Structure formats: structure tokens, C-alpha cells
Amino acid sequence: MKAFLTAFAAIVVAVFPAQARKEKKFVEASVIEIATGNTQLLLQVDSRGEVRTVHYGAPVGDPAQFTDYDAGAYHAPDAYSATGGRFFGQEALHVLYADGTHNTELYYVSHETESRQDIVTTTVHLKDFFTALEVDLVYDAYQKENVILSHSVIRNTGKKEVKLLNFASSSLTLKADDYLLTHFHGDWATEMQMERELLTHGTKVIESRRGVKNTHVQNPSFVLSLAPHYSETDGPTIAGALAWSGNYRISFDIDRGDRLNIVAGINPFASAYPLGAGKSFTTPEMIYTWSADGAGGASRNLHRWARKYAMWNGGLVNPTLLNSWEGAYFDFKTPTILGMIDDAAAMGLELFVLDDGWFGMDYPRNSDAAGLGDWEPNTNKIPEGIDYVASYAHSKGIKFGIWIEPEMANPASNLAKKHPEWIVQSPGREIYQDRNQWILDLSNPAVQDFVYDAIDRTVSLSPGIDYVKWDCNRAVMSFGSPYLGEEQDRFFVEYTQGLYNVCRRMREKYPKLIVQCCSAGGARVDYGALRWFNEFWTSDNTDAISRTRIQWGTSLIFPACAMGSHVSTVPNHQTGNITPLKFRFDIASAGRLGMELQPKTLSGEERALASRCIESYKGYRDLVFGGDLYRLASPYDGDYYALMYVSEDKRRAVVFCYCLRQVNRSVGTKTFRLQGLDPALSYKVTEQNVDESCWWGNGKAFTGAFLSEGGFNPALLGSNSSAVFVLEAL
């Protein structure tokens, strides 16, 4: 009889699954509004308790209009689609339960809204009533910046451990006639190359599985034009970026109903994350913005938000600098460094950075083959000590900075010999080298302590250290963690969490320290890292011609104040290109200006020009750091490149114009239509760093309407010619 009753109960549960979810109740249909000043994201809750995105874009008025909206919901993605139920598309959540099942069905429980200053946070509580798994969808809506951040909190309220096989930050559903995707690819020295494609049915994926250095090959960001053509100025456009420095995955799937579902978050590759009973997991944030003003409008939204909320001391104007790397490499002693400091100060620069090569005694850092991990100064190179050099810089009226690569170790180092168990490795297999180095296992708390101590000891070498260049020059290969033992699936997630833990500790002790995020150039250009850093090194490629495309692509997602851009020698060390010194300065001045060369190689005339360019940059850099960016001409589309920054009150602007290739001088001059100006104001236009201007209107005043409607046509008549103009309202 007992066996019969057990079997009967199983049949009842199988045939009537609602009986196995006694807590689940039908709810009253409603709409949840997540709004900013100029956008609305609307989530529809139907009577079954299923939650779907029904609108993201321009405000549509009363959200209740969407209460009974029929979007063809059958097989449509939920606001956070899970494996199971009626959905067959790209899931945001995939859970393996202790009994071997994979099905999760999330239903609405409740939601609440909380406001703080300019941010409105909406939390939507979902639950699988069969397994007791709970998910919170958290949306932070930044009112003035029109940016929405989305992340999820996954809680195991059951009694047994589960495994998260896919645990995305966000799932966003859109409906439009066309979806034109702009995304970014590259490699070392070719970062953030822009690529466009019209999405078709099926799935497009942007991802990284490199563990570290995750933004060299692809960047976890995109611009989506809801139209068949890309525009800087017109049309509904969405920009998105994931705030995560580890493996990521962003998928774009157009279903049979022509809906686009964007699922973004941590890459599930080799990361089946265990979630014990009573434990929770918080995903990284996915950042979205919508604009009716094309890609330019979406970029400006992101930039305003980033400067205020997404980077460390985003309102700080970082100093101009001279970095020692391309001027000295590993071959220097104290006189070389002091001479470079003298020259930096004489040219008007504000900071000197001592790059790689200053450390290692038993294993001297005379090349990239030794010394990483042994962070004691090399007294054979600088016998007086780092404090002596830093104090000398301060005596010359400039700040001092130093390079460090704390996550790495050379096999030829005391660290690697003392702690072989701290190296990322797969037991029994070769530990592969890249750039003659290994990577330390930041999933291990002891390694986190070491990395933090390495930074702390370095900064403590002198009270005169104002700036740190934090580098990271290799990705993960043949991954594994001796510390994690049999739980290797946690490695990729916990490495990144360990990195952030070190960054948090660094900032708790050194909140005013200026820290650059460098990773073999632009391999850690993401909003997850930027929250701890003041700027990033955009690329190791300092060639001005190459930088046109690198900086254009980067500017679609990241603000100019974060982009380190340096003037280097010619022939350029990465490409061999030869360009005029003024052209190099005018390119670098569109970001955070620096120099990376041996100043003693410059002629007297060149040094005078450098001083002039640096001085004029200081006069308008507040616009570069805090102004609204308008991209005027793309280096991808022709022979000219142009951009401008405009102050919030529209009374000042700076315009950068470049001729990359002159084909026929008889054609005439290039007309640039300026943007962002007040058409009724009159602006005095002054070209910088020249005695004879390339524009007939230099020094005169013109209305914003004249400058925007075709009157601005500087005569850039030679390849690699350039001009910078400052506009001031009268």
C-alpha cells in the first residue's frame, strides 16, 4: 500500500506540476518601470507571474499601457530566461541541481524601488517554487546620464548544493526592423578596431576565454543601431558594456519572431560555479544606454556616467607625463633618469614615470627574462634608491611615478623558486611561458596578500611616489590552481574576484594615488577594472597613424579622460612610420597627453614645439577631460579624421582635425560640420601651436550656426597634417 501511494504521488506531481509548486500563485498583471530622464525600460508581469521586457528606448508615457500588451509571448525570452519551461533560446541562467535535473522556471514574487541622489534602484524578486532557487534582478537607473546598470543576485535557498552552469548579468529583449552591430576586435598594438555587421537570425557571440588580458582580441562592449545604417548623429542606438575583467560572453540572438535577445555576463566556459545551500552569487554589472541621437549620443551618455561614477576620481585632471619606456627601456642608471626628469620639467610636463627595469638583485631586471616577482630596487642601476629619484623629481616641480607588474613572476626569480605552488598551472603538465613569465594564482588568498604587499612595498619606497603604472603582460594558459584542488571550475571567476579584492585594499590605503591600468597596452580596457583606476593605457602602439583608429574605437565606449595617449619618437618603434612631431602631439592631445621617448634626441626646434604644444594643451584639457565628445569624421571612412569636445554650457570647445592621406591638392579643402555648439552664440576661433593658420577664419568670430552648417573648412593639404582649434564664446 505504501509503495502504491508513493507511486501515485509521483504521478500527480508529473501530471499536475502546479501541485508541486504550492507556494506559486497567479498574480495581477502589471508593468514595472525602470526610467531615466529620457529613457524607459518596461518589464511586463503577466498573470502567470512571468516577467518579460516589452520596451527599452524613448519614453512612451504611462507604463500601464503595456499591461495587456501581446508581444507574441509564446517561446519569447523572459527578462531573465532560464533553462527549462517553454523557452528554447539563449538562456541567462542554467542551473544543475543535486538530483541531476536542469530545469528552472522563475516567477515574479515582488519588487521594490529605492532612490538615492540621482540613482533609482529597482529590484525584481523572482523564484523557482519547485527548487527554492531565487533570483533578484537589480536595475540602477542613472537619471541625468540615461544609463541603466543591470545585474542579478542568485540565491540557493534549498538544502543541497547546486551548480551554476550559466549565470549572466543581464538579458535584454528588443524589437526592431534591423539590428546593426558595431563591435571591437584586435590584438596587441591593434586594439579596439571597429567592425560592423547587420545581425541575422541565429546567434552572434562576443567572448573571451583568456582569463586575463581579456580585451585585446575582443572588447566586452558594443554599439547597436536599431536601423540598417550606422549614424553618429541620428537614429535609435543602444550602447552596452560589461563591467568584468575576466572571461566574458555577450550573445545576440534573433529569434523566429524577429526579437533580439542580448545575454551578457561571465563566460560559462570551464566555470560551473558551485553554490552551496544558503549561499548567493552576485554577477557583475551590465551597462546600457539608449539615445535617439545615434552612436554619438550613446557615447556621450556613457562618458558622462563614467566620469562621475565608473572610474576612480573621475573628475580628476590627470597630469601630463614623460614615461621612460621607449626612451630607455631596461638600459638606464641614475644619470639617465635624472636627465629625463630635467627634460620633462623643462618642457612643461608634470610627471615622470620610471617604467620597467628598476628592480631585482639576485635576478636583475635587465630584460623581460628575469626579476618579476622580486620587488626590491636594483641598487646597481639606482644605488641612491627610489626615494632619491622621486625626491629629485619633486625638487624640479614635477610628480613621480613607477611601474609594477604584480600579478606575474619570471621563472628566474626568487618568488617562483620559493612559491612554485602560487603559479597558475595544471598539475603534471608544462607551465607555459609567455613573455618569459608565469602568472600568479589570484584565486589563492595568500597570493592576493602577496600582490597587495608588492604594491604597498613599492609605493612605500618613497613618500614622493604619486603614480603607479600597473601592468599585466600575459594571458592564462593551461589553467589550474593548486589552491583550489578539485574545485577548478571556480578558478576563472575567483581569479577576477581576487584581483578586485587587491584593488579594493589598494584604494582603501591609497585613495589619492594615481594608478594607470595597463595590460600589454589595452588588454584590460573594461569598466570592471576602471572603477579602481584613474586611467588606462590605450595601446602599446604609440604610432600616431595607428592611434587614429584605436582611439576612435575606444571613444565609442570610454571617455577621453581615461585614455593615455603618448608622443613617441620616429621611426615609430612599433610600426616604423614617420610622422611630423606636431601631428603626433595633435593626436595625443585628444586624450591624456604624455610623451614616451628620450628627449635628448629632439632638436632644439622640436623641444620648443613640444613645450608649446604642452602649454596649449593645459589651456584646453579641461574640455578633453570633461567635455562632450562629438566625432566629426571617421578614419575608417576616408582620408580625414576629426573630433571635438564641447563644454557643458556650450561656451567653449576644442576641435581636432587631421588629414591622413592627401590624394589631390586641387580638390580643395575639407569641410567639417561642427556639432554641439549653440547656433546663436558667436565663437572666436584660434588655431593652436602655429604661427600661420591653415584656416582663413583664424582669430575671427563666427556663429555656432555658421560653424555647424559648412563654414569651417581648414586647408589640411598634406598627408599627416593636422590642426587644433579652440573656440570661445564672446
Cβ(348)–Cβ(321) below 8 Å: no
Asked whether residue 272 carries a pLDDT value surpassing 60, the answer given is: yes
- In whole angstroms, what is the distance from residue 50 CA to residue 105 CA? 9
Among positive and negative, which fits the CA dihedral 441, 445, 448, 454? negative
Cβ partners under 8 Å of residue 342, min gap 6: 396
Q: Which amino acid is at 189?
A: A
Over range 54-64, report the average pLDDT.
96
Total-model pTM? 0.95
Cβ(582)–Cβ(609) below 8 Å: yes
- Looking at residue 693, its pLDDT comes to 96
Q: Which amino acid is at 459?
A: V
Architecture of the CATH domain 321-537: Alpha-Beta Barrel (3.20)
Instruction: Indicate the burial class of 694 (C-beta count within 10 angstroms; 0-12, 13-18, 19 or more).
Output: buried
- In whole angstroms, what is the distance from residue 485 CA to residue 488 CA? 7
Over range 682-700, report the average pLDDT.
97
Cβ(265)–Cβ(167) below 8 Å: yes
Cβ(366)–Cβ(372) below 8 Å: no
Grid cell in block for residue 461: 619606497
Confidence of residue 149 (pLDDT cuts 50, 70, 90): very high
Asked whether residue 1 carries a pLDDT value surpassing 80, the answer given is: no
Angle, helices 581-588/604-626, rounded to nearest 10 degrees: 20
User: Domain 632-729 - what CATH class?
Assistant: mainly beta
Cβ partners under 8 Å of residue 207, min gap 6: 218, 247, 248, 249, 250, 267, 269
User: Of the listed 374, 471, 526, 628, which one is catalytic?
Assistant: 471
What are the backbone angles phi and psi of residue 201, rounded to the nearest 5°? -60, 145
Closest CA to 205 of 168, 175, 235: 168
Confidence of residue 15 (pLDDT cuts 50, 70, 90): very low
- Looking at residue 453, its pLDDT comes to 98
- Looking at residue 26, its pLDDT comes to 75
Over range 595-609, report the average pLDDT.
98
Grid cell in block for residue 425: 598551472
Q: Which amino acid is at 264?
A: A
Distance of CA 43 to the CA centre of its chain: 28
Q: Which amino acid is at 557?
A: I
What are the backbone angles phi and psi of residue 582, rounded to the nearest 5°? -65, -40
- In whole angstroms, what is the distance from residue 660 CA to residue 580 CA? 12
- Looking at residue 2, its pLDDT comes to 42
Within 10 Å of residue 144's Cβ, how many Cβ atoms? 14
Asked whether residue 654 carries a pLDDT value surpassing 70, the answer given is: yes
HSE-CB for 386 with a 13 A CA cutoff: 25
Averaged confidence pLDDT in the chain: 94
DSSP string covering 488-503: GGGHHHHHHHHHHHHH
**Annotated catalytic residue 471:** yes
Cβ(468)–Cβ(461) below 8 Å: no
- In whole angstroms, what is the distance from residue 558 CA to residue 542 CA? 18
- Looking at residue 24, its pLDDT comes to 58
- In whole angstroms, what is the distance from residue 107 CA to residue 89 CA? 18
Cβ(262)–Cβ(160) below 8 Å: no
**Annotated catalytic residue 253:** no
- Write out the H or E segment, with its range, that includes residue 158: none
Query: What residues does each domain of the chain span?
Result: 11-310, 321-537, 632-729
Asked whether residue 369 carries a pLDDT value surpassing 50, the answer given is: yes
The DSSP symbol for 297 reads H
Grid cell in block for residue 412: 628566474
What's the angle, vertex CA 166, arms to CA 161 and CA 171, rounded to 5? Answer: 130
- Looking at residue 85, its pLDDT comes to 82
Cβ(64)–Cβ(40) below 8 Å: no
- Looking at residue 73, its pLDDT comes to 57
- In whole angstroms, what is the distance from residue 551 CA to residue 347 CA? 25
CATH hierarchy code of domain 11-310 = 2.70.98.60
Asked whether residue 648 carries a pLDDT value surpassing 60, the answer given is: yes
Cβ partners under 8 Å of residue 293, min gap 6: 233, 234, 237
- In whole angstroms, what is the distance from residue 356 CA to residue 364 CA? 11
Q: Do domains 321-537 and 632-729 have the same CATH topology?
A: no
Closest CA to 80 of 143, 130, 131, 123: 123
User: Of the listed 540, 543, 586, 628, which one is catalytic?
Assistant: 540
The DSSP symbol for 671 reads P
Over range 34-44, report the average pLDDT.
98
Asked whether residue 8 carries a pLDDT value surpassing 90, the answer given is: no
Grid cell in block for residue 459: 609605493
